[in-house]
Amino acid sequence: MRRAWPVDERTFDTSSYWIGFNDLDGKGTWAWTDGSVTSYTNWYSGEPSGGSEHCGVLRLSSDGTWYDASCSSTYGYICKYPLNTISCAEWKRKGYTSNVYYTIDPDGRNNGVDPYKVYCDMTTDASTGITTFEHQEANRSLVAGAQVAFSFIRNITYGAKSVDQVATGADISGECYQYIKYECHHFQMTGSTAWYDRDGKQKNYWGGATVDSGQCACGISALDKAVFAIV
C-alpha cells in the first residue's frame, strides 16, 4: 500500500502538476508515460471524470489526490521527486548542490514524525550538506528589568517544526551545534542563567565548558590561567 504524501510538505510552488499518467491509448486504461500500468491510484472523489480529459494531474492538497484534465492545459510538471531523503547531506549525495530549502524525513518514510522543510547549506563544506534549523530568536533581544536570576525567559521555536522533528534531525547528525550569544555586562552569568534541553531539564553550563560544570569557556580559561600562575 503506497502512501499518498502530503504535497504541501514538499518543495512545490503551484497548485496542479502533470504526473505522466494518462489514458491516451483510447481504451480507457490509465498508464504512465513509459507504458507501465499500476494498481495504485489516488483519484479525487468523482475522478476521473472522462470525456476529453485524458491526462492525470496532481492536486496541491493535504491528501495529494489526482484529477483528469485536458492534455493541452498548462500546469507544472513532476519528472522525479526523491522520497525518504533524511538530511541535507543525503540531498547533496544525490547531486543537489543549491543553497535552498529542501524537505527531509530523518526517521524514514512512514515512521515517527512527518517530513519537514529545512534550509540546506551546500557550499560551506565541500564534502557534505549542512542541515540548518532556523528559529525566531536569531536577532538580538533587549533585556530590561530582569534583575532577578532566571526572570527573563525566551522560548525557542523552529517555525512550523515541532521539537520532535528537530530532535530527529539532530539525532542522525554526525555533529550538531546550537549557539547562544550573551552580551550582558556587569552581570554574573553562572548561577543566574540557564538553558533547557529538549526534555525540559535545566542546564547550567555553556559553550566550551564541561557538562554540568556550571561554567562557560571563559570561566575555564580564567581558571587555567590562575592555576598556571600559581604553579
Q: What pLDDT is stored for residue 41 in this prediction?
A: 92
Residues 16 and 65 in one domain: yes
- Continuous segment of H or E residues that includes residue 119: strand 116-121
Classify strands 31-32 and 16-22 as parallel, antiparallel or unpaired. antiparallel
Residues 90 and 126 in one domain: yes
The domain that contains 9 carries what CATH number? 3.10.100.10
CA gap 26, 41 in Å, rounded: 19
Q: What pLDDT is stored for residue 70 in this prediction?
A: 93
Residues 73 and 114 in one domain: no
105-140 residue pLDDT tens? 998 877 888 889 999 999 999 999 999 998 888 888
Residues 33 and 76 in one domain: yes
Q: Supply the DSSP string of 69-104, one letter for each residue.
A: E-TTS--EE-S-------SHHHHHHTT---SSEEEE
Of 231 and 186, more confident: 186
> Amino acid letter at 227?
V
Q: What pLDDT is stored for residue 227 in this prediction?
A: 36
Residues 74 and 87 in one domain: no
CA gap 189, 168 in Å, rounded: 31
- pLDDT over threshold 80, residue 183: no
Phi-psi region of 212 (alpha: psi -120 to 50; beta: other; left: phi over 0): left
Classify strands 31-32 and 66-69 as parallel, antiparallel or unpaired. unpaired
Residues 73 and 115 in one domain: no
SS3 169: helix
Residues 66 and 133 in one domain: no
Of 219 and 215, more confident: 215
The answer as to whether 63 is a domain residue is yes
Residues 92 and 171 in one domain: yes
SS3 223: helix
Q: Last residue of a domain, which of 175, 204, 225?
A: 175
| Full domain range(s) for residue 36 | 1-81
Domain tally for the chain? 2
Of 189 and 89, more confident: 89
Residues 52 and 110 in one domain: no
In 3D, which of 152, 86, 111, 224 has the Cα closest to residue 215?
Answer: 224
The tally of CA atoms less than 13 A away on the side-chain side of residue 145 is 0
Place 180 in a pLDDT band, splitting at 50, 70 and 90.
Answer: confident
In 3D, which of 87, 127, 79 has the Cα closest to residue 107?
Answer: 87
Give percent of the chain above pLDDT 90: 31
The answer as to whether 153 is a domain residue is no
For the record, the C-alpha cell of 156 comes out as: 525557542
Residues 28 and 113 in one domain: no
Residues 101 and 64 in one domain: no
For the record, the C-alpha cell of 37 comes out as: 500500468
15-62 residue pLDDT tens? 889 999 999 987 778 999 888 888 889 999 999 988 889 999 998 887
Distances (CA, A) of 87 to 5, 103, 108, 200: 18, 8, 10, 26
The answer as to whether 107 is a domain residue is yes
The answer as to whether 229 is a domain residue is no
Q: What pLDDT is stored for residue 219 in this prediction?
A: 66
The answer as to whether 46 is a domain residue is yes
> Amino acid letter at 25?
D
CA angle 193, 198, 204 (to 5 degrees): 25
The domain that contains 132 carries what CATH number? 3.90.215.10
SS3 181: coil
Q: Last residue of a domain, which of 148, 175, 202?
A: 175
54-101 residue pLDDT tens? 999 998 887 889 999 999 999 888 766 666 789 999 999 989 999 999
Which pTM value belongs to this model?
0.58
Q: What pLDDT is stored for residue 101 in this prediction?
A: 92
The answer as to whether 77 is a domain residue is yes
Residues 33 and 67 in one domain: yes
CA gap 85, 109 in Å, rounded: 9
> Radius of gyration over alpha carbons of the chain, in Å?
26
